[in-house]
Structure 1
Amino acid sequence: MTTGLVISAPGSGVGKTTLTLALARAYRDRGLKVQCFKSGPDYIDPAFHATATGRASINLDSWAMPRALIDALAARGTDADFVLAEGAMGLFDGAPAVGVCGTGATADIAEMMGWPVLLVLDPSGQAQTAAAIAAGLRGFRAGVRIAGVVLNRVASARHEDVVRRALEGIGMAVLGALPRRAAIALPERHLGLVQAGEQPEVDSLIAEAARFVTAHVDLEAVLQSAAEIGSPLPHSSGAATPPPGQRIALARDAAFSFVYPHMLEGWRSAGAEILPFSPLADEGPDGSADVCWLPGGYPELHAGRLAANLRFQRAVRAFAETRPVHGECGGYMVLGAALTDADGERHAMTGLLGLETSFAQRRLHLGYRLAELAAPMPGYHSGARLRGHEFHYTSIVAQPDASLAVVRDATGAVVAETGSRRGHATGTFFHLIAEDR
């Protein structure tokens, strides 16, 4: 029997990721097969989940994904013993307007899947008010069930006792209480956590977090609070992700590390072959590929090296003479003319597009995007509507080429980050999640 649980909180920075990783590893150490999911568009947390469980973690997004796709992706957890879905932001936080089947809030996924919510509460500077917050969350939406609470960053035994009594007074189960401890904190970067692959010590950090949580959380009670997951739903043809080509040359290294796992799985399940190459190793796309895809990542941290790797640059330009090349966010920047790093140094990129970006002039671009293509891009025809997410701190210095799409945010307002097209090259600032059908 597979059971499922959502880890959520009143807001960000409360400790959802650390608790999710610790629980996942603790149950894995007990011999359970654990499947993690991530609610929303965050792409960094799933890599940590995979390190904790040994299984790929998948995003579930009610704003961008049709229900058929969510069901198909969630069904992969039915061969596990325990499903843990980590929420984003606060439990009910999402886009200001409904998307495909929700706002992108964690509560949407909890209600759709019937998974109870384990709340992480940080009662720092609080006592009985922590119970008031829990009570408010419990009563806010009828279809979302709160299974219990884990307290995080508790100041003392007396503090824990006061908060426990208040929560128990409203009938809220307290399944654990974690004292303050900084040793298991994970390092952060401007887009969130530093990626799992960049931290050689990440496995030991997760192991230590698991030991810490095991000592302070009732693991059996957490398991008992989860809900049974039914039989897998049949895969819907509406859930398929069309590949951009039959043989896909995919940039894949520390500078191009972000692709949603469900995208790659969709491409492979449709029969496409993925041919990875490393621009940082001065490699170019496989000559037998019929499309080249440069995903996002952190090219600004490697801009000097990418500018110096002339074999890579020549190979991508030669590829684009006859076949499509597409870049997302960081990949789009590398397809542009130049990228200025945080220190103000300008680095020449491939020049397939005229885009110039600067990290010296930081500007936050964040949110869901709905794009209507003005021209074809790999895998999609002109007029197709694509849903994705944009998150970077880049200023657009120049975007002179023809617009790839009319792009709107979640409120329907048109944004300036239209993407570009020139010849066989296309690029977008948003990361594609699903087609809007």
Structure 2
Amino acid sequence: MPASLVISAPASGVGKTTLTLALARAWRHRGLNVQCFKSGPDYIDPAFHTAATGRASVNVDSWAMDRGTIAHLVSRGAEADVVLAEGSMGLFDGVAARGVSGTGATADIAEMLGWPVVLVIDPSGQAQTAAAIATGLRDYRAGVRLAGVVLNRVASPRHEDLVRRALNEAGITVFGALPRHAEISLPKRHLGLVQAEEQAEIGKLIDEAARFVAEHVDLDAVLNSAGKWSPQAAANDMSVTPPGQRIALARDAAFSFVYPHMLEAWRAAGAEIVPFSPLADEAPDASADVCWLPGGYPELHAGKIAANARFRSSLRAFAETRPVHGECGGYMVLGAGLTDADGISHEMTGLLGLETSFAKRRMHLGYRLAELAAPMPGHRPGARLRGHEFHYSTILTQPDTPLAVVHDATGTVIAETGSRRGHATGTFFHLIAEDR
């Protein structure tokens, strides 16, 4: 039975990803097979997990997924020695209204699977108060079990001693304390961490994090605190209908945000995925029956996309006879124009009339429930799709026929409806699951 743990914290930016990667790599160095998961909709962290462990990581999400789907996804950890689920935001942070099996909080996954929680606590600017925070998190929800804490960014030995004493008095195990160590900080970008594939030195960075954490954290004590998880047979698999039998998938530095479990589900359903690079001015495979443009960072490459005539003309030709779908950044590229952060406007493919701008940033963030008014690849009219939207573009115009009625997690109708024109469709949200 795998040893299982959830890595969480009181808030974002405390060091969950760094600790998860370091533990995974350190145990891998010991010869253990480590399987990681990401709780919540973050689509960047799983690539870092995969780099650290050599095993593909996927998202599990209590707002968008039912228990059977989550059980199916985590069953890949059944043959591992250690299973680590990295949380998002704070331990109990989710949305106000319950989704399919929870609010999207990390605590939902911890309770659902019975995996103990290791808290990363950053006591900067405080001392004994850190113990009060940890105690509150320990006692807030009866079904969530705290294994212990790792302190991060400790200022001095005296500071560590004050915090340790308070935590010990509260009956909370301290597995270790990490002093400030800027060299293992992971680069940031406006959507979160810079993607793993963009960092040539990611292996060295993770190795250094593993060495540093092994020096300051009792790895044996952490492992001994883990739950002994006995995977249950999944009630169902993903059971998704792929968007086509042969899928031309845009895949490069501008088009990289697609949930790994969706690609796996398409392949499991018998679909073939044929990647191509718009940045390399490549055309979608001529024998594909659908083209899918994921999100990513097209605003960083807008000039190159606009200049790549072969890509743009071939995509237009493809869309004359076959479906083309774009998610978020891919949707923007299907539009008429994109204005970058410097205020320079770039012509996009023009399959849709959407125009967006990054010259004046506006954050769009949150879960989305879309009720399709028309079909999109793989989904019928009336389907209820669950996804997540996160971008900083301003919508200048969205003139085409709306693709769906889209609600946020509270049930409020939002303006980001997606669009359809001819064989082209697009959404601002990244698809996670379809309601059954």
Residue 335 of structure 2 is aligned to residue 330 of structure 1: no
In structure 1, what is the Cα distance between the partners aligned to 2:47 and 2:182?
A: 22
User: How big is the shift at 1:158?
Assistant: 1.1
Residue 273 of structure 2 is aligned to residue 274 of structure 1: yes
In structure 1, what is the Cα distance between the partners aligned to 2:232 and 2:378?
A: 28
Specify the SS of the correspondent of 1:92: coil
User: How big is the shift at 1:348?
Assistant: 0.4
Q: How does 1:122-201 map to 2 (within 5 A)?
A: 122-201=122-201
In structure 2, what is the Cα distance between the partners aligned to 1:33 and 1:116?
A: 19
Kept after mapping to 1: 8 A contact 2:69/2:236: yes
The Cα offsets for residues 98-133 of structure 1, whole Å up to 9 and x where unpaired, read as 000000000000001110000000111211111111
In structure 2, what is the Cα distance between the partners aligned to 1:396 and 1:134?
A: 42
Specify the SS of the correspondent of 1:168: helix
User: How big is the shift at 1:62?
Assistant: 0.2
Determine the structure 1 residue equivalent to 2:396.
397
User: How big is the shift at 1:235?
Assistant: 5.7
> Partner amino acid for 1:218?
D
Determine the structure 1 residue equivalent to 2:2.
2
User: How big is the shift at 1:79?
Assistant: 1.2
In structure 2, what is the Cα distance between the partners aligned to 1:15 and 1:92?
A: 17
User: How big is the shift at 1:51?
Assistant: 0.7
Q: How does 1:251-290 map to 2 (within 5 A)?
A: 251-290=250-289
Kept after mapping to 2: 8 A contact 1:370/1:409: yes
Determine the structure 2 residue equivalent to 1:69.
69
Determine the structure 2 residue equivalent to 1:373.
372
Q: How does 1:230-269 map to 2 (within 5 A)?
A: 230-234=230-234, 236-237=236-237, 239-269=238-268
User: How big is the shift at 1:180?
Assistant: 1.2
The Cα offsets for residues 246-300 of structure 1, whole Å up to 9 and x where unpaired, read as 1111001111011100000000000010011111111111111111000000011
In structure 2, what is the Cα distance between the partners aligned to 1:58 and 1:195?
A: 15
Determine the structure 2 residue equivalent to 1:415.
414
Cα RMSD for the two superposed structures: 0.8
Determine the structure 2 residue equivalent to 1:24.
24
In structure 1, what is the Cα distance between the partners aligned to 2:419 and 2:320?
A: 17
In structure 1, what is the Cα distance between the partners aligned to 2:83 and 2:232?
A: 13
> Partner amino acid for 2:368?
R
In structure 2, what is the Cα distance between the partners aligned to 1:400 and 1:293?
A: 21
Structure 1's consecutive aligned runs of 4 or more residues displaced over 6 angstroms after TM superposition are none
Q: How does 1:305-344 map to 2 (within 5 A)?
A: 305-344=304-343
Specify the SS of the correspondent of 1:319: helix
In structure 2, what is the Cα distance between the partners aligned to 1:173 and 1:229?
A: 21
User: How big is the shift at 1:202?
Assistant: 1.2
The Cα offsets for residues 78-106 of structure 1, whole Å up to 9 and x where unpaired, read as 11110110000000000111000000000
In structure 2, what is the Cα distance between the partners aligned to 1:219 and 1:404?
A: 50
> Partner amino acid for 1:431?
H
> Partner amino acid for 2:74?
A
When the two structures are superposed, what TM-score results if normalisation uses the length of structure 1? 0.99
Q: How does 1:63-102 map to 2 (within 5 A)?
A: 63-102=63-102
Specify the SS of the correspondent of 2:381: coil
Q: Percent identity?
A: 77
> Partner amino acid for 1:345?
I
After superposition, the Cα gap between the structure-2 partners of 1:146 and 1:162, relative to the gap in structure 1 and judged at 3 Å, is same
Structure 2, unaligned runs of 5 or more:
none
User: How big is the shift at 1:159?
Assistant: 1.0
Residue 417 of structure 2 is aligned to residue 424 of structure 1: no
Determine the structure 2 residue equivalent to 1:104.
104
Residue 114 of structure 2 is aligned to residue 114 of structure 1: yes
Q: How does 1:289-308 map to 2 (within 5 A)?
A: 289-308=288-307
Kept after mapping to 2: 8 A contact 1:78/1:232: no
User: How big is the shift at 1:20?
Assistant: 0.5
Specify the SS of the correspondent of 2:96: coil
When the two structures are superposed, what TM-score results if normalisation uses the length of structure 2? 0.99
> Partner amino acid for 2:208?
E
Specify the SS of the correspondent of 1:79: coil
Specify the SS of the correspondent of 1:250: strand
In structure 1, what is the Cα distance between the partners aligned to 2:247 and 2:331?
A: 17
In structure 1, what is the Cα distance between the partners aligned to 2:87 and 2:114?
A: 14
Kept after mapping to 1: 8 A contact 2:387/2:429: yes
User: How big is the shift at 1:234?
Assistant: 3.8
Residue 48 of structure 2 is aligned to residue 54 of structure 1: no
Specify the SS of the correspondent of 2:147: strand
User: How big is the shift at 1:232?
Assistant: 4.6
Specify the SS of the correspondent of 1:280: coil
Kept after mapping to 2: 8 A contact 1:168/1:174: yes
User: How big is the shift at 1:170?
Assistant: 1.0
The Cα offsets for residues 313-351 of structure 1, whole Å up to 9 and x where unpaired, read as 111111111110000000000000000100011100000
In structure 2, what is the Cα distance between the partners aligned to 1:364 and 1:124?
A: 28
> Partner amino acid for 2:317?
A
Structure 1, unaligned runs of 5 or more:
none
After superposition, the Cα gap between the structure-2 partners of 1:234 and 1:109, relative to the gap in structure 1 and judged at 3 Å, is closer
Kept after mapping to 1: 8 A contact 2:68/2:234: no
The Cα offsets for residues 376-421 of structure 1, whole Å up to 9 and x where unpaired, read as 0000000100000000000001100000000010011111100000
The Cα offsets for residues 349-394 of structure 1, whole Å up to 9 and x where unpaired, read as 0000000000002100000000000100000000100000000000
In structure 2, what is the Cα distance between the partners aligned to 1:211 and 1:235?
A: 40
Kept after mapping to 1: 8 A contact 2:69/2:234: no
Specify the SS of the correspondent of 1:160: helix
User: How big is the shift at 1:241?
Assistant: 2.3
In structure 1, what is the Cα distance between the partners aligned to 2:230 and 2:99?
A: 26
Residue 350 of structure 2 is aligned to residue 351 of structure 1: yes
In structure 2, what is the Cα distance between the partners aligned to 1:235 and 1:202?
A: 37
In structure 1, what is the Cα distance between the partners aligned to 2:267 and 2:292?
A: 15
